[in-house]
Structure 1
Amino acid sequence: MRKLCLLALLASLPALPGCFPVVATGVGAGVLMADDRRTSGIYIEDQNIELKVANRIAERFGSSTHVNVTSYNLAVLLTGEVPDEPTRSAVAEIAKGVPNVRQVFNETVIGQPSSFPERSNDTYLTTRVKARMVEARKFNANHVKVVTEAGVVYLMGLIKRAEAEAATDIAATTPGVKRVVRLFEYLD
């Protein structure tokens, strides 16, 4: 029996490398979910909301817009660029129309879609802010969602007021950050 199990394991080895990223991603998401203040159901629903809103905006407007969708505790943050005010209003209405969305923060701006270098800089700023939060050890950095658009840092999360102050201070003093917008829900 032992030889049979070993043979089955060896026969399955060629298939394992393709599965590893899926398993690793699932484990990573599970770790983040376990450390999150949202329930696992809300965590998953936030991911579904992001996909639904983004897909509906893409279906309606195609490449004429650059809208990022972030959902945290059923509150949706829209950032990016749209061509005009009617489109800006429409993307907010699309987000409001997705089931379970309880609040929409429409931070989109009217203008040309941002360039790859601009988006790369925003990604760098988000990474830098999160790294500084981890380094500071003033609160659990996994409790704060950081989104950056055009140098503006948006902070979301279920958080205590002292944690919010520390997170805001860290983000505001990160080189390259133009402004910080707090979209927290407070626990105290």
Structure 2
Amino acid sequence: MTLQYRTSLLARNAARPVAAALAAVMFAASFAGCAPLIVGGAMVGGVMMALDRRTSGTQVEDQSIELKALNRIKDTIGDRGHVSATSFNRMVLLTGEVPSEQDKQAIELAVSRIENVKSIVNEVAVMNKSSLGSRSNDVILAGKIKATFVDARDIQANAFKVVTERGIVYLMGIVTEREANRGSDLARSVSGVQKVVRVFEIVTEEELARLQPKQQPASGSTAPAPAPQ
């Protein structure tokens, strides 16, 4: 398994089907503020947790890391900035805005000291805090991207975690190279996306097969009877 983290500029915009737009509203309505669109599959129930490529223990651990990180961030900068922390497979993505480089580095140091954090991607910008309107737009944009993944049907939408800040899209997940490229292209196609940043763990198709949840037989089904000899 390898870690991939690279930035690609917006290449094109394209309209999506009406179904995607409707789904986007449903996704956006499920979240408040500028938190990442998906903060662990477990947030939307046991089904999503079961489909997540992380173990259930890692999903719970990621949620714990996020809560601890937000507390550390508040203790470090108070109300001086706006910073979000998203943990996926114990890798923490920091996004948002702070007034100084010192604050940016102080936040990274504070979060790095949280138990079980294995790496940090610090994408915090040194600038004035984004407006409430900008953050609301980010939530809607993330919903559109997630809906676009669902609409595409040739990728597993819940394999991607989508985080947005000021129109910049961060994609996280345990994915193959093909999935990473397809997901990035789909995200770039959504109107309003300024840039796509890839924060993936890249796995081979063989590694992915081992990570995929085993299919359970339908309720009430029985194994087929052996053929007569």
Same fold, judged at TM 0.5 (above) = yes
Residues 47, 86 of structure 1: CA spacing in aligned structure 2 closer, same or farther, 3 A cutoff? Answer: same
Q: Could you tell me whether the CA contact under 8 Å between 2:76 and 2:110 is conserved in 1?
A: no
2:89 aligned to which of 64, 73, 77: 73
2:116 aligned to which of 95, 100, 125: 100
TM-score scaled by structure 1? Answer: 0.84
Identity rate, percent: 47
SS at match of 1:157: strand
Residue type matched to 1:124 in 2?
Answer: I
Which of structures 1 and 2 has the bigger CA Rg?
A: 1
> Going by fraction, where is helix more abundant, 1 or 2?
1
Q: Could you tell me whether the CA contact under 8 Å between 2:100 and 2:126 is conserved in 1?
A: yes
1:48 has 2:64 as partner: yes
Q: Which has the higher contact order (CA 8 A, sep 6+)?
A: 2
SS at match of 1:169: helix
Q: 2:184 maps to which residue?
A: 168
State how far apart, in whole Å, the 1-side matches of 2:164 and 2:154 are.
21
Q: 1:8 maps to which residue?
A: none
1:117 aligned to which of 109, 115, 133: 133
1:127 aligned to which of 137, 143, 147: 143
1:148 has 2:160 as partner: no
Residue type matched to 2:95 in 1?
Answer: T
> Unpaired runs of 5+ in structure 2?
1-41, 205-229
State how far apart, in whole Å, the 1-side matches of 2:76 and 2:106 are.
10
Q: Could you tell me whether the CA contact under 8 Å between 2:167 and 2:193 is conserved in 1?
A: yes
State how far apart, in whole Å, the 2-side matches of 1:83 and 1:170 are.
33
TM superposition shift of 1:27:
8.5
TM superposition shift of 1:80:
0.2
Aligned length, in residue pairs: 163
State how far apart, in whole Å, the 2-side matches of 1:39 and 1:47 are.
13
TM-score scaled by structure 2? Answer: 0.69
State how far apart, in whole Å, the 1-side matches of 2:155 and 2:64 are.
27
Q: 2:152 maps to which residue?
A: 136
State how far apart, in whole Å, the 2-side matches of 1:98 and 1:186 are.
24
State how far apart, in whole Å, the 1-side matches of 2:181 and 2:76 are.
39
State how far apart, in whole Å, the 2-side matches of 1:120 and 1:170 are.
21
State how far apart, in whole Å, the 2-side matches of 1:67 and 1:44 are.
21
TM superposition shift of 1:163:
0.8
Q: 2:107 maps to which residue?
A: 91
> Unpaired runs of 5+ in structure 1?
1-25
State how far apart, in whole Å, the 2-side matches of 1:154 and 1:113 are.
19
